[in-house]
Amino acid sequence: MPKRRVHLPALSRRERQVMDILFRRGKATVVEVMAELPDPPTYSAVRSILKILADKGHVINRAEGLRYVYLPAKDAGHFRDEALKHVIRTFFDGSTDQAIAAVLRLSDGKLSAESIAELREHLRKARSEGD
């Protein structure tokens, strides 16, 4: 059965900042998000951003006492994978090989023996899953 592709709407700069805070903290109130935002907008604006993120399927909220807390709708790994797929499609014409080569160039060739062994294991798994 083919994997169902999940497409999450793109994020604005502010939305990404809020999501970064939620991933880092795990959950946060509007006030807590405001405290960590650079040049924070008003309380109402942050609430609006969180509502937009909820409408896009990125955030859920729940009542804790008299306040609402917001948390990512999916784990960071899900969003990381979606973001990486987008980068590979957009900047590397869908080529995983080119993306990996670019990451290796950025590492300045300073990979430890342990990192190289881990990469080999990932390659071995990818090769066996492709069969």
Which residue ranges make up each domain of the chain? 13-72, 76-130
The pLDDT of residue 125: 87
The pLDDT of residue 8: 52
pLDDT digits (tens, 9 = 90+) for 16-63: 899 999 999 999 999 999 999 999 999 999 999 999 999 999 999 999
Q: What is the pLDDT confidence band of residue 67, given thresholds at 50, 70 and 90?
A: very high
Long-range Cβ contact pairs of 67-71 (< 8 A, separation 24 or more): 67/29, 68/29, 68/30, 69/27, 69/28, 69/29, 70/22, 70/27, 70/28, 70/29, 70/30, 70/33, 71/22, 71/26, 71/27, 71/28
**Exposure pattern of 69-108 as b/e (b: 16+ CB <10 Å)?**
bbebbeeeeebeeeeeeeebeeeeeeeeeebeeeeeeeee
| Side chain identity, residue 72 | P
Please tell me the least confidently modeled range out of 45-49, 63-67, 82-86.
82-86
Q: Is the pLDDT of residue 85 over 70?
A: yes
CATH for the stretch 13-72 = 1.10.10.10
Rounded Cα–Cα distance for residues 96 and 84 (Å):
10
